[in-house]
Structure 1
Amino acid sequence: MDLTDYSVILTAYIMASAIKGLTGLGFSTSCLPVLALHFDLKIAIPLVLVPSIVSNITVIVQAGRFREAVSRFWPLYLAAVPGLLFGLAVLATINSDVAKAVLGLVLMIYALWAMTNMTVSLPTKWERALRVPIGFMTGIVNGMTGSQVMPVLPYLLSLNLEKNDFVQAINISFTFSSLVMLLGLNQLGYLTATTFLIALAGLVPVLLTLTVAGRLRRRLTTIVYRRLVLGLLLVMGMILLLRNFL
């Protein structure tokens, strides 16, 4: 890697940490598009995982109600594993540009959905019935693109959980999937010593930025920043998708 590569990584880490601290948006969701514009996804995804795991574990410790979330959603978490393995197998065989286009499409769908503030309430019987398929589909999308938000995020929001219950449930999903992803990428040979060391070193600016952003969050209008971030994700998703056709 050269100086340009390191500059892109540092920029992506700082931007994603600031966004997570200010708006609560997932680290990997905002970091991956920036890295994917410069790197192959097979390089970008390993660079995101270590900082993502650390930031998510921090939130898990803060949120509480860990046992309650695991007891309720363990089928969803376990169903993500075969989906992840399938998604990783697809990632290993498809063209990198196709994977980037899929990531772009996922980001666009997520951004547009979040902008509409759509709320759907699922009855209890559907909540239980959808746990396994939602987990499996989330695993496939995660394995192929590195994005962890679809469709698990809309599903959990539709359950009208208390704030801390929602934060805990989604972060357990992110963390568990990231750990499985880390092992899978290592088996495929994508997690090299270089990328792992870069990701570890990146924890310093990530944690510093998270701390500063957390303090600024009280003074800034989160709604405005959330709209700006979602708009940015929409644009980056369009760029990743359209690059295949230009």
Structure 2
Amino acid sequence: MCQFPVEGVIPCMNTLTIGLTCLLLATFLGAGVVKGVTGMGLPTVAVGLLSTAMSPVAAAAILVAPSLATNVWQMLVGPDKLRLMRRLWAMMLCIAIGTVLSTRLLVIVDPVWSGRTLGFALIAYAVYALFSPTLSVPQRLESWLSPVIGIVTGVVTGATGVFVIPSAPYLQSLGIQKDELVQALGLSFTVSTVALGGGLLAHGAFRLDQFGLSLLAVLPALVGMWLGSIVRQKISPKAFRRCFLLFLVVRGFELTLRPFS
């Protein structure tokens, strides 16, 4: 019989408790709403909330299926997939390499310290998004800067399970049109998700027989996205986004201070 894991490996389906199931459903429903309103944020919210009850490596493993489902859809919407892939292939390759190699950090580092790293990542993402500085990368620098950003994004993804820093700000700085940017973010997040799942699997932190737990989170994530699209029509996305980012700052500080409490 499958027992509760140690060192942050996610639990098997037959060890699910009512509390864990409710946390899982509520987390991905809420994360889906955020993504439906703002266009991103599902992994950031999900890992940030799940880490209240488990280590970041466990949260990252549960994230794989719902993140993949929502990001593939985001990537496929629009006509510019192949052109974006040709333009960003070096960045995507480096994201994959950096993520797979650095995922070991999630597995071997003490969960308290990996949680602290996650806290710093949440704060960095939220502060950047709150102030939204206007950055512009000259096209002549893109050929060598994209692989560097890819590697750094991969390391952050592998160490925290959050894959928006620095890839999202960088893609926004390339001057890509709005619809293309949505696709580019979907492409980046999809590559990060697949690489994260592969890295966790390679390091023994995500077994195939546990994939059902991740699949369980897909439906609430999709329902949340649908609800978020409705909410977006009713409230100011800017105000909602600001409240969401302030929540991430608070959550990030809580995680970073946990080792000293």
2:83 aligned with 1:76, yes or no?
A: no
Q: Name the residue aligned to 1:226.
A: 241
Write out aligned runs for 1:44-63 (5 A).
44-63=59-78
The separation in 2 between residues aligned to 1:89 and 1:44, in whole angstroms, is: 15
Matched, 1:101 2:116: yes
Do residues 137 (structure 1) and 152 (structure 2) align? yes
Are the counterparts in 1 of residues 101 and 199 from structure 2 also a CA contact under 8 Å? no
| SS class of match (2:260) | coil
Aligned-partner SS, 1:191:
coil
- Any idea what SS the aligned residue of 1:38 has? coil
Number of aligned positions between the proteins: 246
Q: Name the CA shift for 1:235/1:63 in 2 (closer, same or farther; >3 Å).
A: farther
Measured against aligned partners, the alpha-carbon deviations of 1:186-217 in whole angstroms (never above 9, x if no partner) come to: 22222235642122122222222211221231
SS in 1 for 2:137: coil
Matched, 1:200 2:253: no
Q: TM-score, normalised by structure 1?
A: 0.95
* SS of structure 1 residue aligned to 2:92: helix
Report % sequence identity: 28
Contact 2:36–2:225 (8 Å) recurs in 1: yes
Stretch of structure 1 that moved more, 192-201 or 31-40: 192-201
Contact 1:83–1:138 (Cα < 8 Å) also in 2: yes
- Does structure 2 retain, via aligned residues, the 8 Å contact 1:46–1:195? no
| Aligned 8 A contact 2:33 2:224 in 1 | yes
Alpha-carbon contact 2:57-2:161 (below 8 Å) kept: no
Label 1:238 to 1:208 Cα distance change in 2 as closer, same or farther (>3 A).
same
In structure 1, which of residues 187, 190, 201 is the aligned counterpart of residue 202 of structure 2?
187
Contact in 2 for aligned 1:64/1:168 (Cα 8 Å): no
1:1-246 pair list within 5 angstroms? 1-193=16-208, 195-246=210-261
Q: Find the aligned partners of 1:10 and 1:104 in 2 and give their Cα distance.
A: 22
**Any conservation in 2 of the 1:82–1:136 contact (CA below 8 Å)?**
yes
**Aligned counterparts of 2:201 and 2:185: Cα–Cα separation in 1:** 24
Q: Do the aligned partners of 2:123 and 2:248 also contact (CA within 8 Å) in 1?
A: yes
Cα separation, 1, equivalents of 2:250 and 2:209: 30
Aligned residue identity for 1:110: Y
Amino acid at match of 2:187: I
* Mapped partners of 1:74, 1:63: distance in 2: 18
Native 8 Å contact 1:141 1:150 kept in 2: yes
Q: CA deviation at 1:221?
A: 0.7
- How far apart are residue 21 of structure 1 and its match? 0.6
Could you say if the C-alpha distance between residues 143 and 209 of structure 1 is closer, same or farther in structure 2, counting changes exceeding 3 Å? same
Larger mean CA deviation between 99-108 and 186-195 belongs to: 186-195
Gaps of 5+ in 1: none
Q: Whole-Å Cα distance in 2 between the matches of residues 137 and 78 of structure 1?
A: 12
Shift of 1:49: 1.1
Report if the CA contact (8 A) 1:66-1:168 is conserved.
yes
